[in-house]
Homo-oligomer: A and B are copies of this chain.
């Protein structure tokens, strides 16, 4: 596959499948209470890359699974990711007016409804995860639910967000930056890949390799995001450039310098590729997504 054509086509097709499944798993927009459902749909369909769902589907395929079995969990992951963005953008948190180039949820629906739309999306993720899938073992579904909940909660994403908030404006070391990255964004990315492997019925060796891949790709993603905040253009990022630095956010380039950050990101990409090695062609999509993650910022 040529990275710049086939990957785009592949990701575009997968995104369309995810978007159509998301529509199905969200409450219908026209149903009561309409305004809540509109607010939920608004942020879910505000131009996300669907990276987490796509990684989950690709991990499932990579181990020989049918990625339709991973679709509910992939959508649940995107709902959780979206709720976290809605709450992060609130005035009491990052106070952002724009996200992915469009007005943030609370700018359109007001603060109260934005909080509740986030709450409802987080809950909808577990409604989706708890629907019986006859083609899967119940224990597998339960494990996936446990992994996703753990990745999203106090020991995962929410914990990372708290430490990130506390670090703002203070001088932090690389260990704290790594903690924040591993929890705030890394946890959901790792969980996406791990759950994709489980839903594809991976054997233990393949599962462990994909977990390694997930750790490397998750951290690379966050470093790329930090670099993009410094060197990217606003259109690509959909938010203000330099906003992390302005806030005194703990980022890899801020602590280690941009050169070291790029080097670290490249190393992580190599680790990610090494973990995929034994899979051969079935890992093509994951390989290319890893490259996509880091080239976004170069």
Q: List A residues at the B interface (Cβ < 8 Å).
A: 27, 32-33, 35-37, 40, 83, 87, 90, 92-93, 110-113, 115-116, 118-120, 122-124, 126-127, 129-132, 138-139, 141-143, 145-146, 149-150, 152-155, 158-159, 161-163, 165-166
* Shortest distance from the beta carbon of A120 to any chain B beta carbon, whole Å: 4
Asked whether, in the complex, the Cβ of B149 is within 8 Å of the Cβ of A130, the reply is yes
Q: Is the interface of A mostly helix, strand, loop or mixed?
A: helix
Q: List 27 A-B contacts (CB under 8 A).
A: A27-B155, A32-B163, A33-B154, A35-B166, A36-B154, A36-B158, A40-B154, A83-B119, A87-B115, A90-B115, A93-B115, A113-B165, A116-B161, A119-B158, A120-B153, A120-B159, A122-B123, A123-B149, A127-B146, A127-B149, A130-B142, A130-B145, A130-B146, A130-B149, A131-B146, A141-B142, A145-B145
* Shortest distance from the beta carbon of A81 to any chain B beta carbon, whole Å: 13
Asked whether, in the complex, the Cβ of B158 is within 8 Å of the Cβ of A123, the reply is yes
| Copies per complex of this chain | 2
* Residue of chain B at shortest CB distance from A144: B130
Complex Cα distance, B35 from A93, in Å, reads 16
Asked whether, in the complex, the Cβ of B116 is within 8 Å of the Cβ of A119, the reply is no
Q: Looking at the complex, which one of B120, B153, B154 makes contact with A158 (CB distance below 8 Å)?
A: B120
* Shortest distance from the beta carbon of A114 to any chain B beta carbon, whole Å: 8
* Residue of chain B at shortest CB distance from A160: B33
5 additional contacts (CB under 8 A) given A92-B115, A120-B159: A119-B122, A123-B152, A124-B153, A126-B145, A130-B143
* Residue of chain B at shortest CB distance from A83: B119
Q: Looking at the complex, which one of B35, B112, B145, B161 makes contact with A92 (CB distance below 8 Å)?
A: B112
